[in-house]
Structure 1
């Protein structure tokens, strides 16, 4: 087993910490029992060590210390299948997240809600959490009516701790093209279930490239008192028209999620250019999901697989291009995600929050990764591996 019998206290020294106000301060951070208990500086490790004799010290000198990344769209139990059974993607291994600086992930089904089950997704989420990650899942899949584990979306959210919302698909040749009334009923159930369970309640909407775009969501919201932030459309950079609609949605108080692919920088730039509230915009990897390519007749012509590594790659590209400062793009995979999904104690380096953090070198390489106070990567080497990793 990877889990230590007793988690030692941890002191992260010498780094510049990213604050909740997206500024930088030179402070040390002390973690005890997986929680941040002190942010001060400098902290004398000798004095602290008298009270905490098993103290571990992690050197962050010359580095930036940021919250652990939360990948809010990850097919960690595998996805795919658009080309047949041989195109099913494999489940993710723990180290694939750690190498990407990801300490939390939200799992979901994709196109295949038939041979892929929510029960398997839930079991994988619990397995990754036992190995050191923080995990959540969406019930449902591309189709409406949604597959569930307990008989309804509302029951799944209320009765299963890890279920924070539901997945659906719109404007895609693989979706069920639900009616506006079906969408209204789904978001209403999710909002009510969130009230009953103490969760925010999210409808994660896979967006395709059909011309209907976000039209069904706009129509579903018309006349409702349901806040638009309960919908989180993803893959919004897929087409220029869809991106424009997503920008307008955020300007009207909604949320949007950008996939960290080759179109991500243009999408970020579009939100910035429009003066949109970037705290309502997030970045996710589509990790372990299939990335099919279709021709104009929607015939499959190619296949690839997403990776959580794309998060850091796109963030670095945005900073290197001068598109946005580091703290802005880091917020898109930390505090923005935690706030939008209602993940308490996550996404920030604050007292009382979980000790999830990433230490970045000046060239934005990942040096250390800490998840719930446990050192998962140290000096660029994975320190904790999954049960079946060599």
Structure 2
């Protein structure tokens, strides 16, 4: 079936005014001010009047198999369902393990990714986890990236956190070098996703690696950079050195009351400070455990990350903090796709038809397509997982 979306304001994520978009199979095959089709072929026409049409959101950190609970076995978080993503405009997720790589395994991660892909979602994964030496499926980071399609990088490796393995400069540099070479050999980016904790060493180990080796800051992709203003300012310096930073949209009221910047606020702050708009991203940390620690790192609470927070933060950035739709979209579409080396996050002829149609006033998704398949129609999920 052909699908013709008519009269929506198109963001690629750059704004292009009112455009018609034609989908055939899994691809976008035409973009014009007006597309006229005179044919007896079955064509589904979607009226985009009063809406904006954007790339499908790219959520660069999701714990699709759930996270290990810092309060024991009973606190392990649940797995993600398909509609946790699609109902909120997310068509691409990048999955990773976190603190727990014992009860949460890479075999389970890849199996879950394959299952979500069968349902129509775009899913990629990182090998490894918080700790070094990195756990792998094949026994080698190089082989994981070269021979397992879903693996595109390594992570999320923890630094500046009491839960990390306290990696040395040499250990982390060796891992980054392996990831870089593996990426070169496999045609992937080999990005190293970095979990940054609250310890005031911030990103110092990454700068040490850049100064002492041939590895650039662009090889690393630090997340949770909105924990506090000091870390946020360290992130700005990281961007000036050529790196990209990520803000976590899932948070807790406790953390916000104790110095954390909401992701939308952090995005606006960095843009106001003149940070390159292509170097800023937001991700949900969906289905991760969100532990609340006191000043002595004692666990005092635990919540669960939500994929829905990615769209919520996009809306907050636009409506509360005055970020343009274009720049807010870049943070959840083209920017994360580019830092991870994914052919996603933009709209052009012959690109995958990953699209979100949103009401231009409320910015609520009404229709979502992933690889040309209609996942959400008039706000309702038309494709669900088998157990939803």
For 1:272 and 1:331, locate their aligned partners in 2 and report how far apart those are by CA, in whole Å: 12
2:6 to 13, 18, 34: 13
1:191 aligned onto 2:180: yes
Superposed counterparts of 1:329-348, under 5 Å: 329-344=328-343, 346-348=344-346
Q: Which residue of 2 aligns with 1:95?
A: 83
Quote the Cα distance in structure 2 between the aligned partners of 1:239 and 1:319.
Answer: 21
Partner of 2:354: 356
Question: SS of the counterpart of 1:330?
Answer: helix
Cα distance in 2 between the residues matched to 1:177 and 1:322: 36
State the distance in 2 between where 1:272 and 1:264 align. Answer: 12
Alignment correspondent of 2:204: 215
1:157 corresponds to 2:145: yes
Contact 1:247 1:270 survives alignment (8 Å):
no
- For residue 75 of structure 1, what is the aligned residue in structure 2? 63
Asked whether the 8 Å contact 1:70–1:334 carries over to 2, the reply is: yes
Give me the whole-angstrom Cα distance separating, in 2, the residues matched to 1:318 and 1:264.
Answer: 8
Map 1:244-263 → 2, pairs under 5 A: 244-260=233-249, 261=251, 263=262
Within the alignment, does 1:27 sit opposite 2:15 as a pair? no
Distance 1:148 1:141 in 2: 9
Please report how far the alpha carbon of residue 269 of structure 1 lies from its aligned counterpart in structure 2 after TM superposition: 2.6
Q: RMSD of the TM alignment (CA)?
A: 1.2
In the other structure, the counterpart of 1:315 is 314
Whether the aligned pair in 1 keeps the contact of 2:268 and 2:321 (CA below 8 Å) is no
Q: 5 Å matches for 1:31-50?
A: 31-45=23-37, 47=38, 49-50=39-40
Q: Give ranges in structure 2 of 5+ residues lacking alignment.
A: 257-261
Secondary structure at 2:212 match in 1:
coil
CA–CA distance in 1 between the matches of 2:46 and 2:15?
A: 22
Counterparts of residues 49-64 of structure 1 (less than 5 Å) = 49-50=39-40, 53-64=41-52
CA distance in 2, matches of 1:243, 1:325: 21
Structure 1 residue 59 displacement after superposition: 2.0
User: TM-score scaled by structure 1?
Assistant: 0.94
Secondary structure, aligned partner of 1:27: strand
Paired residue for 1:4? none
Aligned counterpart, 1:281: 280
Using the TM superposition, give the Cα deviation of residue 58 of structure 1 relative to its aligned residue in structure 2, in angstroms: 1.9
Partner in structure 2 of residue 5 of structure 1: none
Q: How many residues align?
A: 376
Q: Please state if 1:86 is matched with 2:61.
A: no
Give yes or no for contact 2:289–2:302 (8 Å, CA) kept in 1. Answer: yes
Q: Does the 8 Å CA contact 1:17/1:66 hold for their aligned counterparts?
A: yes
* Gap runs ≥5 in structure 1: 1-7
Query: Contact 1:9/1:373 (CA < 8 Å) preserved in 2?
Result: no
Aligned ranges for residues 368-379 of structure 1 at < 5 Å? 368-379=367-378
208-217 vs 254-263, which moves further: 254-263
> Is residue 264–residue 321 contact of structure 2 (8 Å, CA) maintained in 1?
no
Whether the 8 Å contact between 2:68 and 2:104 is mirrored in structure 1 is no
Does structure 2 conserve the Cα–Cα contact (< 8 Å) formed by 1:131 and 1:387? no
Question: Using the alignment, how far apart are the partners of 1:115 and 1:317 within structure 2?
Answer: 36
Q: 2:147 and 2:42 mapped to 1: Cα distance?
A: 39
For the residue of structure 2 that corresponds to 1:226, the secondary structure is coil
Deviation (angstroms), 1:338: 1.2
Partner of 1:327: 326
Q: CA deviation at 1:322?
A: 4.1
Q: Return the alpha-carbon distance in structure 2 between the equivalents of residues 223 and 213 of structure 1.
A: 18
Cα deviation 1:75-97 (Å, max 9, x = unaligned): 01111321001111111111111
Note the alpha carbon deviations across 1:10-53, whole angstroms, 9 max, x for none. 11112111135x123211111112101100132124x1x43xx2
Deviation at 1:214, TM superposition (A): 0.4
SS at 1:187's partner residue? Answer: helix
The alignment status of 1:232 with 2:224, answered yes or no, reads: no
Give the secondary structure class of the aligned counterpart of 1:57.
strand
CA deviation map 1:304-341 (0-9, x unaligned): 11111111111111111243111110111111111111
2:366 is aligned to 367
- Deviation per CA, 1:190-215: give whole Å up to 9, x if none: 11001000001110000100111101
Whether the 8 Å contact between 1:19 and 1:25 is mirrored in structure 2 is no
Q: Runs of 4+ in structure 1 displaced over 2 angstroms? A: 223-227
Give the aligned partner of residue 293 of structure 1. 292
Q: Tell me the equivalent position of 1:241.
A: 230
